A and B are shown apart, each in its own frame.
Chain A
Amino acid sequence: MRVNGAAESLDVEPWVSLLDALRDRLGVTGPKKGCDQGACGACTVLADGVRINACLALAVQYDGKEITTIEGLATGDDLHPLQAAFIRHDGLQCGYCTPGQICSAVAMLAEHRAGMPSAVTERSGELDEAEIRERMSGNLCRCGAYNGIVDAIKDVAGQEAR
Chain B
Amino acid sequence: MTETASTTTTAGQGVGESARRPDAVLKVTGEFAYASDLWLDGMVWGVTLRSPHPSAWIRSIDVGPALKIDGVLAVLTHEDVPGVKFFGLDRRDQPVLAIDQVRYQGEPVALVAADHPETARRAAAAIVVDYEVRAAVTDPRQATDVVRHQPVRRGDTFEAEVVVTGEYEVGMQDQAFLGPESGLAVPAEDGGVDLYIATQWLHVDRDQLAPCLGLPHDKVRLTLSGVGGAFGAREDLSMQVHACMLALRLNRPVKIVYGREESFFGHVHRHPALMRYEHGATRDGRLVYVKADILLDGGAYCSSSPAVVGNAASLGVGPYEVPNVRVDATGVYTNNPPCGAMRGFGAVQACYAYESQMDRLAEACGLSPVEIRVRNAVSQGSRLITGQLIDAPAPLAGMLRDLESMPLPEGPPATDLRALPGGVSQTTRGEAVRRGVGYGVGIKNICFSEGFDDYSTARVRAELVGGEPHVTVHTAAAEVGQGLVTLQAQIARTELGIANVTVATADTAVGSAGSSSASRQSYVTGGAVRAACEAVRKRFDGLPAREALERFGPIEETREYRHRPTYPMDPVTGQGDSHTQLALCVHRAVVDVDVELGLVKVVELAAVQDVGRVLNPQALEGQIHGGSAQGLGLALMEEIQVRDGLVLNPSFTDYLIPTILDMPPMQTKILENPDPAAPYGLRGAGEPPTLSSTPAIAAAVRAATGLRLTRVPIRPEDIALFNNGEVSDGKRT
B701 to chain A, nearest CB (A): 20
Inter-subunit contact B657/A96 (CB<8 Å): no
Would you call A10 an interface residue if the criterion is a C-beta within 8 Å of the partner chain's C-beta atoms? no
Q: What's the Cα separation between A121 and B30 when bound, in Å?
A: 31
Would you call A71 an interface residue if the criterion is a C-beta within 8 Å of the partner chain's C-beta atoms? yes
Inter-subunit contact A92/B618 (CB<8 Å): no
A86 to chain B, nearest CB (A): 5
Q: What's the Cα separation between A144 and B33 when bound, in Å?
A: 21
Q: What's the Cα separation between A93 and B484 when bound, in Å?
A: 11
Residues of A in contact (CB 8 Å), total 54
Inter-subunit contact B36/A32 (CB<8 Å): yes
Q: Mark B407-423, 1 if CB is under 8 A from A, else 0.
A: 00000000001110001
State the main secondary structure of chain A at its contact with B.
loop
Among residues 1 to 48 in chain A, which have CB atoms less than 8 Å away from a CB atom of chain B?
A: 23, 27, 29-37, 39-40, 42
Inter-subunit contact B29/A71 (CB<8 Å): yes
Q: Using CB atoms, name the residue of chain B closest to A77.
A: B25
A40, A73, A84: the one contacting B652 at CB < 8 Å is A40
Inter-subunit contact B20/A70 (CB<8 Å): no
Residues of B within 8 A of A136 (CB): 660
State the main secondary structure of chain B at its contact with A.
loop
Q: What's the Cα separation between A136 and B661 when bound, in Å?
A: 8
A54 to chain B, nearest CB (A): 13
Inter-subunit contact B483/A134 (CB<8 Å): no
A37, A42, A144, A150: the one contacting B651 at CB < 8 Å is A37
Would you call A110 an interface residue if the criterion is a C-beta within 8 Å of the partner chain's C-beta atoms? no
Inter-subunit contact B31/A30 (CB<8 Å): yes
Would you call B227 an interface residue if the criterion is a C-beta within 8 Å of the partner chain's C-beta atoms? yes
Q: What's the Cα separation between A31 and B230 when bound, in Å?
A: 19
Residues of A within 8 A of B724 (CB): none
Would you call A156 an interface residue if the criterion is a C-beta within 8 Å of the partner chain's C-beta atoms? no
Among residues 109 to 162 in chain A, which have CB atoms less than 8 Å away from a CB atom of chain B?
A: 119-120, 122, 130, 133-134, 136-137, 139-150
Residues of A within 8 A of B32 (CB): 95
Residues of A within 8 A of B661 (CB): 133-134, 137
Q: What's the Cα separation between A146 and B663 when bound, in Å?
A: 7
Inter-subunit contact B228/A71 (CB<8 Å): no
Q: Using CB atoms, name the residue of chain A closest to B2.
A: A29
Q: Using CB atoms, name the residue of chain A closest to B655.
A: A39
Would you call B653 an interface residue if the criterion is a C-beta within 8 Å of the partner chain's C-beta atoms? yes
Inter-subunit contact A90/B418 (CB<8 Å): no
Inter-subunit contact A34/B622 (CB<8 Å): no
* CB contact under 8 A between A146 and B660, given known A35-B652, A39-B653, A40-B652: yes
Inter-subunit contact B651/A39 (CB<8 Å): yes
Inter-subunit contact A32/B178 (CB<8 Å): yes
Q: What's the Cα separation between A90 and B629 when bound, in Å?
A: 16
Residues of A within 8 A of B166 (CB): none
Inter-subunit contact A120/B424 (CB<8 Å): yes
Q: What's the Cα separation between A16 and B71 when bound, in Å?
A: 19
Among residues 216 to 236 in chain B, which have CB atoms less than 8 Å away from a CB atom of chain A?
A: 226-231
Residues of A within 8 A of B21 (CB): 87, 90, 92
Q: Using CB atoms, name the residue of chain A closest to B27.
A: A95
Residue of B180, B625, B660, B665 with highest tally of chain A CB at under 10 A: B660
Q: What's the Cα separation between A82 and B634 when bound, in Å?
A: 31
A-B contact count (CB 8 A): 175
Inter-subunit contact B179/A32 (CB<8 Å): yes
Residues of B within 8 A of A95 (CB): 23-24, 27-28, 32, 226, 228, 481
Inter-subunit contact B2/A90 (CB<8 Å): no
Inter-subunit contact A94/B663 (CB<8 Å): no
Q: What's the Cα separation between A102 and B257 when bound, in Å?
A: 24
B18, B36, B179, B628: the one contacting A94 at CB < 8 Å is B179
Residues of A within 8 A of B625 (CB): 144-148
B24, B230, B666: the one contacting A87 at CB < 8 Å is B24
A21 to chain B, nearest CB (A): 14
Would you call B34 an interface residue if the criterion is a C-beta within 8 Å of the partner chain's C-beta atoms? yes
Inter-subunit contact A144/B663 (CB<8 Å): yes
Q: What's the Cα separation between A87 and B29 when bound, in Å?
A: 11
A37 to chain B, nearest CB (A): 7
Q: What's the Cα separation between A90 and B162 when bound, in Å?
A: 48
Q: What's the Cα separation between A31 and B652 when bound, in Å?
A: 18
Q: What's the Cα separation between A73 and B622 when bound, in Å?
A: 25
Q: What's the Cα separation between A115 and B631 when bound, in Å?
A: 37
Would you call A97 an interface residue if the criterion is a C-beta within 8 Å of the partner chain's C-beta atoms? yes
Inter-subunit contact A90/B619 (CB<8 Å): yes
Residues of B within 8 A of A32 (CB): 34, 36, 178-179, 228
Q: Mark A71-93, 1 if CB is under 8 A from B, else 0.
A: 10110000100011011001011
Inter-subunit contact B36/A33 (CB<8 Å): yes
Q: Using CB atoms, name the residue of chain B closest to A72.
A: B30
A30, A35, A96, A130: the one contacting B228 at CB < 8 Å is A96
A133 to chain B, nearest CB (A): 5
Inter-subunit contact B260/A144 (CB<8 Å): no
Residues of A within 8 A of B660 (CB): 133, 136-137, 139, 141, 146, 149-150
Residues of A within 8 A of B626 (CB): 93, 143-145
Inter-subunit contact A34/B180 (CB<8 Å): yes
Residues of B within 8 A of A134 (CB): 418, 423-424, 661
Would you call B480 an interface residue if the criterion is a C-beta within 8 Å of the partner chain's C-beta atoms? yes
Residues of B within 8 A of A40 (CB): 178, 260, 652
* CB contact under 8 A between A94 and B227, given known A37-B260, A143-B622: yes
Would you call B381 an interface residue if the criterion is a C-beta within 8 Å of the partner chain's C-beta atoms? no
Q: What's the Cα separation between A36 and B177 when bound, in Å?
A: 14
Q: What's the Cα separation between A74 and B28 when bound, in Å?
A: 10
Among residues 388 to 437 in chain B, which have CB atoms less than 8 Å away from a CB atom of chain A?
A: 417-419, 423-424
Residues of A within 8 A of B482 (CB): 93
Inter-subunit contact A39/B178 (CB<8 Å): no
Would you call B259 an interface residue if the criterion is a C-beta within 8 Å of the partner chain's C-beta atoms? yes
B30, B231, B483: the one contacting A99 at CB < 8 Å is B30
Residues of B within 8 A of A71 (CB): 29-31
Would you call B176 an interface residue if the criterion is a C-beta within 8 Å of the partner chain's C-beta atoms? yes
Would you call B37 an interface residue if the criterion is a C-beta within 8 Å of the partner chain's C-beta atoms? yes
Q: What's the Cα separation between A139 and B661 when bound, in Å?
A: 10
Residues of B within 8 A of A122 (CB): 418
Q: Using CB atoms, name the residue of chain A closest to B663.
A: A146
Residues of A within 8 A of B653 (CB): 37, 39
Inter-subunit contact B658/A87 (CB<8 Å): no
B208 to chain A, nearest CB (A): 24
Would you call B556 an interface residue if the criterion is a C-beta within 8 Å of the partner chain's C-beta atoms? no
Q: What's the Cα separation between A150 and B424 when bound, in Å?
A: 20
Q: What's the Cα separation between A23 and B628 when bound, in Å?
A: 33
B109 to chain A, nearest CB (A): 23
Inter-subunit contact B418/A130 (CB<8 Å): yes
Would you call B733 an interface residue if the criterion is a C-beta within 8 Å of the partner chain's C-beta atoms? no
Residues of B within 8 A of A29 (CB): 2, 30, 33-34, 37, 39
Residues of B within 8 A of A84 (CB): 28
Would you call B139 an interface residue if the criterion is a C-beta within 8 Å of the partner chain's C-beta atoms? no
Task: Please give 18 more A-B residue pairs, beta carbons under 8 A apart, in addition to A32-B228, A36-B259.
Answer: A29-B30, A30-B30, A34-B228, A35-B652, A42-B178, A79-B29, A86-B24, A93-B481, A94-B177, A95-B32, A96-B228, A120-B424, A130-B418, A134-B661, A140-B659, A142-B657, A143-B229, A146-B625
26 A-B pairs in the complex with CB atoms less than 8 angstroms apart: A29-B33, A30-B30, A30-B31, A32-B179, A33-B257, A37-B260, A69-B30, A73-B29, A83-B28, A90-B618, A94-B480, A95-B27, A95-B28, A98-B27, A98-B28, A119-B424, A122-B418, A130-B419, A133-B660, A134-B424, A142-B177, A142-B231, A144-B629, A144-B630, A147-B625, A147-B663
B contacts, CB < 8 Å to A:
2, 18, 20-21, 23-25, 27-34, 36-37, 39, 175-180, 226-231, 257, 259-260, 417-419, 423-424, 480-483, 618-619, 621-622, 625-630, 651-653, 657-661, 663, 665-666
A contacts, CB < 8 Å to B:
23, 27, 29-37, 39-40, 42, 69-71, 73-74, 79, 83-84, 86-87, 90, 92-99, 102, 119-120, 122, 130, 133-134, 136-137, 139-150
- In order of increasing CB-CB distance, the 6 nearest A-B pairs are A30-B30, A94-B481, A144-B629, A96-B228, A95-B27, A144-B626
